[in-house]
Structure 1
Amino acid sequence: MTNPIYIDLTTDYAFKRIFASEVNKDLLLHFINEVFRGKKKIVDLAYNKNEYVGDAEDLGTVILDLSCTADDGSKVILEVQTSQQLNFKQRMLYYGGKLIADQAPKGNRRGWNYGITAVYVIVLMEGFVFSTATESTAVFQDICLCNSDTGTIFYEDLHFIFIQLLNFTKGSDKLESDLDRWLYIIKNMPLMDSPPAYLQQPLFGKLFDVARYSKLNMEERAMYDISLKRKWDQEAVRQYQEQQLEEAITRGLQQGLEQGLEQGLEKGLEQGLEQGLQQGLEKGLQQGIAKGLEEGSEAKSYAVVKKMIDRNEWSDEMIAELVEVTVDYVREVREQRNK
């Protein structure tokens, strides 16, 4: 395999090499400010430790990809996640909470009076998106604490910004802002042979220069190659899980149809063919879907609903009844699918 021209910034090693280096602080500062999209501006920042030891021995150590403090005292965590993991949202919440808790002084807490500074958790999600219909299609998910009844912001100095790279689909001719250019580079840099004309700003020129594979020494190349292989392995696992889910759903639906037809024909002899077929199909589909979900450990109602919509054989009301979700949810999935 020929060596790449540029390293993949979504790998753990490349991400830290580019963004966690003092000489590249200007790159990190520019990227973070673009992610804030005008809501906040950082003039300078200082790198923090990335290991946070628990208050007790049994709590263990939290290791972050990158942590820094802005000139106004606010804390920023920047994480890259290349595969969906159990309790993913909860883990990001814990990371943010850890940076809040660590602001408490060891001594005079009364004088401190809980004067915590803002915390921002920025997560680059590569290779997967959130599973729910309302979250799965956006590029950005900007989360803060708010009143669930009115939507009024309760506390705006704890932010979780999730960037779903899979949903960033702009081509090179559609890039409108530096944020667009950053996301385009992060997604496509490994495929490039040289900096394109539309990315010739000095800052991006520096990024392309420091991201050259040829800049790595032998030890650094070995570390990068290991990091890249780990990403490929995670992607292979994800694709296998999706394939298993697809097969399980298809198998469950097929078995449900077959069983439903059989039951419907039997019942039709007693109650009328049309009514019997309908009841049998519904019962068979319910059993088939249950079996499909059982076999596909990663199956979600969203995936089942989308699959049934794709088959274009059932009404929204029937899908809702069979999968045990609301009709509004089915319509929401259909709307997201048609975008």
Structure 2
Amino acid sequence: MMRTLYTDNQIFIPIISDYGFKITFGNEGHTLFLRKALQAFIKSDIPIKEIQFDKNTFEGITQDGRSGIFDLACTDEAGNHFIVEMQYGEAPDFVQRMKFYALHKFNAMVKKGKFDYGLLTKIYCIAILANNILPYPQFHTLANLRNEQGELFDEQLTFITIELDKFTIQASDCQTDLEKLIYTMKTYSSYSIP
């Protein structure tokens, strides 16, 4: 079911709108919000000190290959790549789209000739979805490649899904930076000036 994003009495642009997302997360002049948000999304205690914005468009690898545009692409000071996508509408196959984006970035990191695969940095593919797509009850899902016993096999590619509809925590109960961020993203446009 598609929801209405804007109402006549709103005074702030929703962060989860296309424009709100790009202006909030993609502010190249002031990256503190983005750095803190990425740190919260990946649940890392290590601060991200610098962000370099990357080209957010890419060409297909083959003549018939699909091109694409990331909502946001950036790299931190350690060389870790972040792809962030905001999806307001229905997205039943979004996991496949996340894999497409992450694997395209992975392919672009591997160079011709003698190449040391041990030098590959991490890729975090982050999807912020207004609707639910996963069968899990939690609003934040972090996924890596695991074996049949559920043990970590590789963490070079990390897929993070935030499903806003599943987030029901009230402001007074928000404890972590992630909870505070998601609460703000969901409620910011409903604030009013007294």
Is 2:91–2:133's contact at 8 Å kept on the other side of the alignment? no
Give the aligned partner of residue 153 of structure 2: 154
1:59 aligns to what SS in structure 2? coil
Please give the root-mean-square deviation of Cα atoms over the aligned residues, in Å. Answer: 1.9
Greater displacement, 84-93 / 67-76: 84-93
Q: Map of 1:243-254 to 2, 5 A cutoff?
A: none
Higher-RCO chain (CA-CA 8 Å, sequence separation at least 6): 2
Aligned mates of 1:14, 1:158 — CA distance in 2 = 27
Point out the structure with max Rg over C-alpha: 1
Give the aligned partner of residue 142 of structure 1: 142
Unaligned runs of 5+ in 2: 1-6
1:181 aligns to what SS in structure 2? helix
Aligned mates of 1:165, 1:123 — CA distance in 2 = 11
For 1:118, the aligned partner's letter is K
For 1:48, the aligned partner's letter is D
Q: Map of 1:147-186 to 2, 5 A cutoff?
A: 147-148=147-148, 150-186=149-185
Give the aligned partner of residue 79 of structure 1: 85
Distance 1:155 1:40, change over 3 A: farther
Q: Map of 1:1-339 to 2, 5 A cutoff?
A: 2=8, 4-38=10-44, 40-105=46-111, 107=112, 109-110=113-114, 112-114=115-117, 115-126=119-130, 128-130=131-133, 132=135, 135=136, 137-148=137-148, 150-194=149-193
Distance 1:188 1:64, change over 3 A: same
Is 1:18–1:24's contact at 8 Å kept on the other side of the alignment? no
1:102 aligns to what SS in structure 2? helix
2:126 aligns to what SS in structure 1? strand
Is 1:53–1:62's contact at 8 Å kept on the other side of the alignment? yes
Distance 1:71 1:2, change over 3 A: same
Give the aligned partner of residue 199 of structure 1: none
For 2:28, the aligned partner's letter is E
Aligned mates of 1:22, 1:95 — CA distance in 2 = 22
More helix by share: 1
For 1:62, the aligned partner's letter is G
Please report how far the alpha carbon of residue 3 of structure 1 lies from its aligned counterpart in structure 2 after TM superposition: 5.7
The runs of 4+ residues in structure 1 deviating greater than 6 Å are none
1:58 aligns to what SS in structure 2? coil
Distance 1:19 1:172, change over 3 A: same
Q: How many residues of Structure 1 are paired with residues of Structure 2 in the alignment?
A: 187
Give the aligned partner of residue 240 of structure 1: none
Deviations 1:27-72 (A, max 9, x none): 1001111122235542211000100111223213111100000110
Distance 1:157 1:41, change over 3 A: farther
Identity of aligned residues (%): 27
Please report how far the alpha carbon of residue 87 of structure 1 lies from its aligned counterpart in structure 2 after TM superposition: 2.6
Normalising to structure 2: TM-score of the pair? 0.89
Distance 1:40 1:77, change over 3 A: farther
2:143 aligns to what SS in structure 1? strand
